Structure 1
């Protein structure tokens, strides 16, 4: 008798782009992102999810007149072009003016996702602007946890300071998120918190966490990367270290499903404590 063939596992590739963001210089940042992806384009799989940091085209600037997309929406167009070029989902952070009548012309710190056809499939507004760093003086907060479908997986995106507020991640889990993304400009002096908080978000929500940070310096802070892919048990599976480059990992859907089925902690979640039982 011949040996039985082992069933091939279902996988989906995730890629974090960790780079030194040039301060308020869109064109230089577009060029750097594309160069980093081109260097390893042979390893990029169709349908992968490529994640860029928070405010990747400008850095974490409080000058909304510099960071906000104008009528030309050049950053969105750049992301759509790359999504089509590499046939991937492109996620990245950008800024738009708050269009609401009571928005006071402040900005919105967004995470936007394009599909491989170059169509927008998700738009999340950072729920927790960083008050300690005066972000709340210039950017309004979002009020909704959102998810989107990426292949067979459901993804909940978050931005930077959000990672300190586990309750909003729980809402993502309640909406079925198996993957959580955190795009950030998280400084070197608090990097130990970054690692531990992202591991905690993975463990408590039995989810894959893809956490993408920047390196280099802006006029105020130093950044040392540590972009991470963390599995549902909290184990770091890919670590970008402190240099520019891509962080790649294939999420094994069968391993994730098996773990969640064997240890079904999410079934014991008390949605009444989340205000979801009404």
Structure 2
């Protein structure tokens, strides 16, 4: 086993009844010379989760998911935004078809560290290929140093002083 990760954000009542949310930060491993991390499904929809992988050095984020139809903006917009804001490659592999009364979206994508779309699938089963580059990750992080210039201590202060409700 290369990487162990537990889902942090459980989606919906069914998942909360069946599973316990993990607490551990995403790990990063070297896989064929690429620092690789993993998030599961709904976790990628929280910018803090993706940022945690990036600040730990991830250059590639793998996201297996089972997103149902009706949430097209996740692979079409959100995944590219997550790749851009955390300056890493994101490979988002979604289930497709109909299973157990649920229609799955398909729409798997690979996004580059500049938010570019490197590969995209339709709504059916597909095998995607994309050329990713650690050099592009490094270039993006040098050109616009989001990770270096962030101010997490200030954000925590802001969150603590936010009105409740």
- TM-score in terms of structure 2 length: 0.85
**1:138 alignment partner in structure 2:** 18
Give the one of 89, 102, 113 matched to 1:221: 102
Distance 1:270 1:152 in 2: 29
Distance 1:274 1:148 in 2: 28
**Structure with greater contact order relative to length (CA < 8 Å, sep ≥ 6):** 1
**1:246 alignment partner in structure 2:** 127
Give the one of 153, 164, 171 matched to 2:45: 164
Are 1:256 and 2:141 matched, yes or no? Answer: no
Distance 1:274 1:123 in 2: 29
| Alpha carbons 1:179, 1:208 under 8 Å: kept | yes
| Alpha carbons 2:95, 2:105 under 8 Å: kept | yes
Deviation string 1:43-73 (CA, Å, 9 cap, x unpaired) is xxxxxxxxxxxxxxxxxxxxxxxxxxxxxxx
SS at match of 2:113: coil
**1:121 alignment partner in structure 2:** 2
CA 1:252–1:173: 2 relative to 1, 3 Å: closer
Gaps of 5+ in 1: 1-119
SS at match of 2:101: coil
Bigger fraction of residues in strand:
1
SS at match of 1:210: strand
| Alpha carbons 1:169, 1:201 under 8 Å: kept | yes
CA positional deviation for 1:129: 1.5
SS at match of 2:38: strand
Distance 2:119 2:13 in 1: 29
SS at match of 2:127: strand
Gaps of 5+ in 2: 157-165
Distance 2:114 2:64 in 1: 20
CA positional deviation for 1:252: 2.2
- TM-score in terms of structure 1 length: 0.52
Distance 2:84 2:20 in 1: 30
Distance 1:170 1:259 in 2: 15
Please tell me the root mean square deviation across aligned C-alpha atoms, in Å. 1.8
